[in-house]
Amino acid sequence: MRSSGAEVASGVPLVVAEQVRAAVADGRPVVALESTIISHGLPRPRNLEVARELEAILGDLGVVPATVGVVAGRPIVGLGAEELEMLATASDVVKASVRELPLAVAARRHAATTVASTAFLARAAGIACFATGGIGGVHRAAAETFDESSDLVALATTPVTVVCAGVKSILDVGATLERLETLSVTVVGYGTRRFPGFYLVDSGHELEWSVESPQQVAAVMAARDALGLRSAIVVANPVEREHQLDPELHASLVAEALEAAAEAGIAGKAVTPFLLDHLYVASGGASLEANIWAVRNNVNLAAHIARAAAGSGGPA
Ligand code: PSU
Ligand code: MN
């Protein structure tokens, strides 16, 4: 069942799955999930299994999953099983950040949404909480290429809470943290004052603030809203130590992947999928396992945050 009760803007109906619409209307917990990680970030057929598993983790915790994507030009919040399968298996799925949304909608294309476009569409559907693996940020050669993810801009202007394991470690983590500061994006460590490194527990960068419980995150969200701020809250949640990639292996893999990308002349939005795939192949699949563990961990925490924010999270 579909409802078009929300609109991105007049004329572009945002398709919100009925169970998502009802949960938002009733103030029950909902967590949004992105689809770029499914279509472009994870190898097939594991991508579809993971997409389904993430929805199941939420469901088991009493939270309504809302995976976001664009199917035949229709932006959907709460993809159905067939739509999810299509975005995971079709060969003509474009990677759509915010600026590609109008193109994908007008051309009636299938599109996977990034952190930026997922946050935008989720917020339009009234969803405040969102889980992913790692957010985009400043690429290492940004001083020459100007390559910065538009995730940063979206986080500056979209009042959602994004649970992530840091930024992708293929990026310039320090520069990304500086940009998040410039853009007034609230960043808080979950149970740590070390900014996590996506595949790693610790990126080597410090955080000034940490929280210890979902209830504390919910309190920060409430304060942000009470202050009338429109920026995102990034909850940096480290992968469990037993699931992290070996830090030494990680360092050599990333250096190798960056070299391969430069040699192959990869640029623009193809950079992230190329590097992730290179890491996957070069690590014999180990990077994939760490990636999946990080996402699971984030989805689990996002569920508890959404429950706390909805007032069903139990005692503080
Ligand atoms: N992290 C991953 N896999 C991914 C991404 C992040 O482990 O596929 C995706 C997210 O959708 C993120 C996007 O929003 O990459 C950023 O891409 P870019 O750097 O081109 O903005
Ligand atoms: Mn880019």
Query: Under 8 Å CB-to-CB from 200, ≥6 apart: which residues?
Result: 169, 239, 244, 245, 247, 250
Q: What is the pLDDT of residue 316?
A: 39
Q: What is the pLDDT of residue 1?
A: 46
> Catalytic residue numbers?
34, 168
Q: Specify the pairing of strand 186-190 against strand 233-236.
A: parallel
Query: Ligand 2: distance of its center to the CA of 244 in Å?
Result: 26
Query: What is the CB < 6 Å shell around ligand 1?
Result: 34, 36-37, 40-41, 97, 114-116, 133-134, 136, 149-151, 168, 269, 272, 276, 291
Query: Ligand 1: distance of its center to the CA of 290 in Å?
Result: 16
Residue whose Cα lies nearest atom 6 of ligand 1: it is: 134
Report the nearest atom of ligand 1 relative to the CA of 273. Answer: 8
CATH number for 133-316 (one of 3.40.1790.10, 3.30.70.270, 3.20.20.70, 3.90.1150.10): it is 3.40.1790.10
| CATH no. of 1-127 | 3.40.1790.10
Parts of the chain belonging to CATH 3.40.1790.10: 1-127, 133-316
Q: What is the pLDDT of residue 315?
A: 45
> Quick one: which ligand is closest to 171's CA?
1
Burial classification of residue 77, based on how many CB atoms lie within 10 Å of its CB (0-12 exposed, 13-18 middle, 19 or more buried): buried
The tens-digit pLDDT sequence of the chain (316 residues) is 454 556 665 566 899 999 999 999 999 999 999 999 999 989 999 999 999 999 999 999 999 999 999 999 999 999 999 999 999 999 999 999 999 999 999 999 999 999 999 999 999 999 999 999 999 999 988 999 899 999 999 999 999 999 999 998 889 999 999 999 999 999 999 999 999 999 999 999 999 999 999 999 999 999 999 999 999 999 999 999 999 999 999 999 999 999 999 999 998 888 888 998 899 999 999 999 999 999 999 999 999 999 999 987 644 3
Query: Ligand 2: distance of its center to the CA of 136 in Å?
Result: 8
Q: What is the pLDDT of residue 6?
A: 63
Instruction: Give the separation between CA 105 and CA 207, rounded to whole angstroms.
Output: 39
Query: Ligand 1: distance of its center to the CA of 115 in Å?
Result: 7
Q: What is the pLDDT of residue 10?
A: 55
Instruction: Give the separation between CA 89 and CA 46, rounded to whole angstroms.
Output: 11
Q: What is the pLDDT of residue 2?
A: 53
Residue whose Cα lies nearest atom 17 of ligand 1: it is: 136
